[in-house]
Amino acid sequence: MISQEVDLVVAGGMVLTADHDWNIYDPGAVAVDGGAIVGLGPRDEVEWAYRGRERIDTSGRLVMPGLINAHTHAPMTLFRGIADDLPLETWLYKYIWPAETKLLSPDFVRLGTQLAAAEMIRSGTVLFCDMYFFEDDIAEACKEASIRVVIGEALVDFPTANCQTPEDQLEYTEYLLSQWNDDPLVVPSVQPHSPYAASSELMQQARTLADEYDVPYLLHVAETRSEVQESIEKHGRTPVGRLADLGLLGPTTVAIHGVHLTDEDIELLAQHGAGVVHCPESQLKLASGFTPVPKLLEAGVKVALGTDGAASNNDLDMFGEMGTAARVHKMMAGDPTVVDARQALSMATLEAARVLGLDDELGSLEVGKRGDMIVLDLDVPHMVPVYDITSHLVYAAHASDVRTVIVDGCVVMRDRGLLTLDEDEIFARAREMAREIVASWGS
């Protein structure tokens, strides 16, 4: 038999598939052609069947699926640290939204997205779900950086830097849905900001668009106690109950944060097949509370992990989110077995892809799925020896252990060198933008 020539073979080290069976091949190999995984298994078998036009030797290293950040606001890297240690409402209404009103532009969001993409690629993230403004420019920046993104313009009842009216926002969203349909790296979605910032009518119109284009429908839900109390006072229902009454819950609905959920809320989410994105470090920093992940999982609700924006976290490191999620839930439950390492890792890989409706193509290393993977160094003190690689990834690994990142079969970082972004230029422009942000406070 003559071996088949393919675009890329990654071989020599341990391969963690993170699939439903958690298969591990050591040593293993992955063959990719046309952006898709065509071969996977023990190294000798894969290299006998496939010959790569490019070969990456991963001896002494780990190959695993790239991480998925299921919720962030990428351009807010430029607001990192400007208003820390404040309550969410104060942080949002007094500092963030006024600064955005003065400064947001297509150039601003492109620069912030480039900075975020560099940070995420370096820390092993290959896909992130974004809610912000000027999302068309965010999509373009991600295409240039060769990182996957789910885009969604934040839909609100008030004017934004991009759109003056909710009608304009819906029109812009429909443009995104048609413009980025079937793109290999960009997935459009519909994202009302929240039940407190978007009217019932706007949320329902957004739901109609999401259903028409069969895309995810995401919104912030039950993030703070005050939000829930206000919803009960105004509508007689919790935010989740209100969404259910409005017919907005369904398999494509994703409740971001979902911190203050009643048992009825959890039952409603489970009944409708909705998902939740848990952002542990942001929720800890803002003292918003903690998503009841063990209860959600027990009820059968699908849960993903996200970082939230860098202005409220303050980094985009998914390794940190996995470790924090696993540890804090153990403490809160008084049970060291809840949210174990495998569950935490799944919430940043396959389960995250399932929440976003992308698990047919992403989230694990399997033949037929897209060739998204990262290579980690195992020859570092905190990763030696290895008894359980999944445990190491959640409790010991660092973002800096990521050596190589491959998206859709293309190498975007090799041996810690970014290939798609000019970091020196991005850093210089970001520092200049920071001076403009500080100057705007007095204007």
Lowest-confidence range among 80-89, 211-220, 265-274? Answer: 80-89
pLDDT at residue 1 is higher than 70: no
Query: What percent of the chain shows pLDDT beyond 70?
Result: 99
CB 104 within 8 A of CB 63: no
Averaged pLDDT, 173-182: 97
- Structure confidence by residue, pLDDT tens digits, 364-386: 999 999 999 999 999 999 999 99
At residue 70's C-alpha, the angle toward residues 66 and 74, to 5°, is 95
Closest residue by Cα to residue 228 from 326, 348, 138, 236 = 236
pLDDT at residue 239 is higher than 80: yes
> CA-to-CA distance for 225 and 399, rounded, in angstroms?
33
Q: Which one of 1.40.20.10, 3.65.10.10, 3.40.50.720, 3.20.20.140 gives the CATH number of domain 67-355?
A: 3.20.20.140
- The structure tokens listed for 267 are 């039952």
Residue 183: helix, strand or coil by DSSP?
Answer: coil
100 pLDDT band, cuts 50/70/90, is confident
- Structure confidence by residue, pLDDT tens digits, 375-433: 999 999 999 999 999 999 999 999 999 999 999 999 999 999 999 999 999 999 999 99
The class that CATH gives domain 4-65+372-416 is mainly beta
> CA-to-CA distance for 28 and 25, rounded, in angstroms?
5
> CA-to-CA distance for 422 and 412, rounded, in angstroms?
12
Domains 4-65+372-416 and 67-355 alike in fold: no
Mean pLDDT of the chain: 96
Beta strands in 269-401 (DSSP E): 275-278, 302-305, 373-377
250 pLDDT band, cuts 50/70/90, is very high
pLDDT at residue 94 is higher than 80: yes
Using the structure block, give the residue that is written with the tokens 């119109």.
205
Compute the chain's Rg from CA coordinates. Answer: 21
The enclosing H or E element of 154 equals strand 148-155
pLDDT at residue 101 is higher than 90: no
Spell out the SS3 assignment of 51-102.
Answer: EEEEEEECCCEEEEECEEEEEECHHHHHHCCCCCCCCHHHHHHHHHHHHHHH
pLDDT at 68: 99
Sequence-ordered alpha helix ranges (H) in 129-238 = 135-145, 166-179, 200-213, 225-235
> CA-to-CA distance for 138 and 372, rounded, in angstroms?
20
Strand order in the sheet with 28-33: 36-42, 28-33, 4-11, 50-57
89 pLDDT band, cuts 50/70/90, is confident
Give, to the nearest 10 degrees, the angle between helix 166-179 and helix 135-145: 30
Residue 393 or 442, more confident: 393
pLDDT at 174: 98
Q: Which residues pair with 30 in a beta bridge?
A: 10, 40
Averaged pLDDT, 166-177: 98
87 pLDDT band, cuts 50/70/90, is confident
Domain locations in the chain? 4-65+372-416, 67-355
State the CB neighbour count (10 A cutoff) for residue 174.
15
CB 188 within 8 A of CB 151: yes
pLDDT at 439: 83
- Structure confidence by residue, pLDDT tens digits, 149-165: 999 999 999 999 999 99
- Structure confidence by residue, pLDDT tens digits, 68-86: 999 999 999 999 998 899 8
443 pLDDT band, cuts 50/70/90, is low
Residue 171 is given by DSSP the state H
